[in-house]
């Protein structure tokens, strides 16, 4: 599982941006009750989004399978989706204006 995390981190390492429209969020992992473990910002011009989403989906499925196979349960807390913007030419996630989805 760590390999997928490393692949995602490498894919989104360059967070440089010019405008807020350059920035987006990728869902990382999965929780036992559903939903992502976290969100990470990335720069759309600097990422192969199809490849990133494929890696993220594979990692999510692996986490879900792990929870099911090991009968792992967790607290059912929604991870709020942060607001993403371009700040000082870097895509950043902000806990202000959180979006619950």
Q: Where are the domains of the chain?
A: 2-99
Please list, in sequence order, all residues whose beta carbon lies within 8 angstroms of the beta carbon of residue 25, skipping any fewer than 6 positions away. 39, 40, 41, 42, 81, 82, 84, 93
**Could you tell me what percent of the chain has a pLDDT over 70?**
92
Average pLDDT over residues 17-32: 95
How far apart CA 32 and CA 30 sit, in angstroms, is 7
Q: Look up the pTM and report it.
A: 0.83
Average pLDDT over residues 31-56: 94
């Amino acid at each position: 599982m760590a390999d997928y995390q490393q692949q995602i981190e490498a894919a989104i390492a360059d967070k440089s941006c010019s405008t807020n429209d350059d920035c987006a969020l990728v869902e990382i992992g999965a929780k036992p009750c559903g939903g992502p473990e976290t969100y990470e910002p990335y720069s759309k011009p600097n990422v192969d989004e199809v490849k990133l989403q494929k890696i993220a989906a594979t990692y999510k499925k692996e986490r879900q399978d792990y929870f099911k196979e090991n009968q792992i349960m967790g607290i059912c807390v929604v991870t709020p989706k942060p607001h993403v913007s371009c700040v000082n030419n870097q895509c950043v996630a902000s806990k202000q204006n959180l979006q619950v989805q």
